[in-house]
């Protein structure tokens, strides 16, 4: 079952998602890109995983950096790493989609400085 494959790929991050959310990500991937379970299982799971990484990046965007005396905590890299994982996986997946469709993708602006 695809949800089990997705859970394995999420590893320790699986606890951040409920089963209905994961099923929705899988169904969205199938519908949005006209993918068929049994034929495009790898792509479906990877597209759902992309959505998971994007959700994790946005959910952790409020993480902070804290320093007091000799103790410091820096969790600001967490959302950046999830976003990098999302972008890397998306680039890999979109090249393998059966029908190359125009998709909406956030683009970073180049700094002019």
Residue 103 has pLDDT above 90, yes or no: no
46-89 residue pLDDT tens = 999 999 999 999 998 887 877 888 888 778 888 999 999 999 99
Helices (H), the chain: 2-10, 19-32, 41-59, 77-94
29-51 residue pLDDT tens = 999 999 999 999 999 999 999 99
pTM: 0.77
Strand-pairing partners, residue 72, are 67
Residue 106 has pLDDT above 60, yes or no: no
Which residues, including other chains, have CB under 8 Å from residue 100's CB and lie 6 or more apart? 94
Per-residue pLDDT band at 100 (split at 50, 70, 90): low
């Amino acid at each position: 079952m695809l949800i089990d494959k997705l859970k394995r790929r999420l590893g320790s991050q699986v606890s951040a998602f409920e089963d209905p959310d994961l099923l929705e990500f899988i169904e969205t991937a199938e519908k949005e890109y006209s993918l068929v379970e049994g034929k495009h299982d790898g792509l479906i799971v990877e597209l759902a995983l992309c959505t998971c990484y994007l959700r994790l990046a946005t959910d952790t965007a409020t993480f902070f950096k804290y320093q007091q005396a000799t103790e410091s905590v820096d969790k600001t890299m967490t959302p950046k790493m999830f976003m990098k994982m999302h972008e890397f996986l998306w680039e890999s997946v979109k090249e393998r989609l059966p029908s190359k469709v125009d998709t909406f993708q956030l683009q970073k602006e180049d700094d002019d400085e």
